[in-house]
Amino acid sequence: MELKSLQDIGEAMVTPGRGILAADESTPTCAKRFESIGVESTEENRNAYRDMLLTAPGMEEYISGVIMFDETLRQSTLHGNVPFPEHLSSKGVVPGIKVDMGAKVLANSPDEKITDGLDGLRERLIEYYDMGARFAKWRAVITIGEHIPTHYCIATNAHALARYAALCQEQGIVPIVEPEILMDGTHTIEESYDLTIETLHTVFYELASQGVQLDGMVLKPNMVLSGYECETQASVEQVASMTVDCFMNTVPAAVPGIAFLSGGQSDELATAHLNAMNQIDGKPWNLTFSYGRALQAPALSAWGGSAENVPVAQEAFMKRAKFNSLASKGEFSADME
């Protein structure tokens, strides 16, 4: 079925029991992942790897959308030579595209980042829509450290996220709005909570200011966690409670869904946190996943660059996808691991 409106597409991306596969690693990032398994990062190998994920039998049961890199959007399946956007659409999976150009140093604040990519974005979105993309992704990076983040960093990134979102909706593309507070550091979960609140308030102020249709977007935020180097790590229950509370205080009910990033958590912990959040009642939006490494890591390792390993790798991918599908409904149990 052809999804016509922004609202239809947004709701399809966050339907209960399905989540978004982030397969939009840039070529340098992909090279690092491949290096970890001793595989050369050629276009041919990258195509074979993406094909392994996107043609996994039954993946559409757990995956609602796939974020692709520009190169991937232009590639095709190994068997049948079907363009990936067309292949995904035929399975009822929404094709998406990463459109930002990465985080660069923020002028006058060398320890902070601003995301590039607004120049020429309208023209790129027109091309991507013609190629079959129906949603896009833009990531803003907020770092916690000594005297940072500054309000200047939060405000400029929020403004850019809203400009991107408005341009997407103008072209019939649903924007994934991704303000990511990095969890590297020694900060407590309380500091993480306060900064996530400030960031989301600022982001939604900018989205409203620029006329972004809230029921035609998807939010992709960080979970509220203790800094990874913090001596006291919050429990799964505390993370779930503080994260849901944070979003209840900042995210309008009109937003159809929140698709969390994993942000460097282990595969198991990202699933456990999502599951615990979905066991809390009274939320106005669907909470699901938009994981990259936390969905792909076991599959990448099992694949190892060999065509004969594809079935085993697909099985590993589907196992994590199924666990996160259950977690998006609050039905996962750690015993399943």
- In whole angstroms, what is the distance from residue 211 CA to residue 32 CA? 39
Q: Which two tokens stand for residue 230?
A: 């913090």
Reported residue count of the chain is: 337
Helices 267-277, 293-303: axis angle to 10 degrees equals 150
The average pLDDT across 133-156 equals 97
The reply to whether 141 falls in a domain is yes
336: pLDDT confidence band, cut at 50, 70 and 90?
confident
Is residue 1 domain-resident?
A: no
Averaged pLDDT for residues 29-52: 96
Contacts of 251 (CB under 8 A, 6+ apart): 200, 204, 219, 258, 285
- Residue 134 to residue 79: CA distance in whole angstroms: 24
Whole-number pLDDT of residue 214: 98
Please indicate, yes or no, if residue 198 is contained in any of the structural domains: yes
- Report the number of distinct structural domains present in the chain: 1
pLDDT for 4: 80
Active site residues: 178, 220
Span 197-201, average pLDDT: 98
Question: Mind giving me the DSSP string for 119-131?
Answer: TTHHHHHHHHHHT
pLDDT band at 2 (very low <50, low <70, confident <90, very high): low
- How distant, in Å, are the alpha carbons of 81, 125, 177, 271, 314 from that of 159? 40, 19, 11, 31, 39
Residue 9 is which amino acid? I
Query: How confident is the model over 52-86, as pLDDT tens digits?
Result: 999 999 999 999 999 999 999 999 999 999 999 99
Q: How confident is the model over 182-197, as a mean pLDDT?
A: 96
Tell me the pLDDT tens digit for each residue of 208-241: 999 999 999 999 999 999 999 999 999 999 999 9
Whole-angstrom Cα Rg for the chain:
19
The verdict on residue 21 lying in a domain is: yes
Among residues of the chain, what percentage have pLDDT more than 70?
Answer: 99
Average pLDDT rounded to a whole number, residues 155-178: 98
**Is the dihedral angle over the CA atoms 196, 161, 132, 3 positive or is it negative?**
positive
Q: CA 66 → CA 15, 77, 95, 235, distances in Å?
A: 14, 14, 5, 30
Q: Is the pLDDT of residue 149 over 60?
A: yes
Residue 289 banded pLDDT, cuts 50, 70, 90: very high
Q: What is the CATH number of the domain that holds 96?
A: 3.20.20.70
Instruction: Give the model's pLDDT for residue 323.
Output: 97
Q: Does the pLDDT of residue 170 top 70, yes or no? A: yes
Supply the pTM of this predicted model: 0.96
Domain that holds residue 330: 6-336
User: Over the stretch 301-331, which tens digit does the pLDDT of each residue have?
Assistant: 999 999 999 999 999 999 999 999 999 999 9
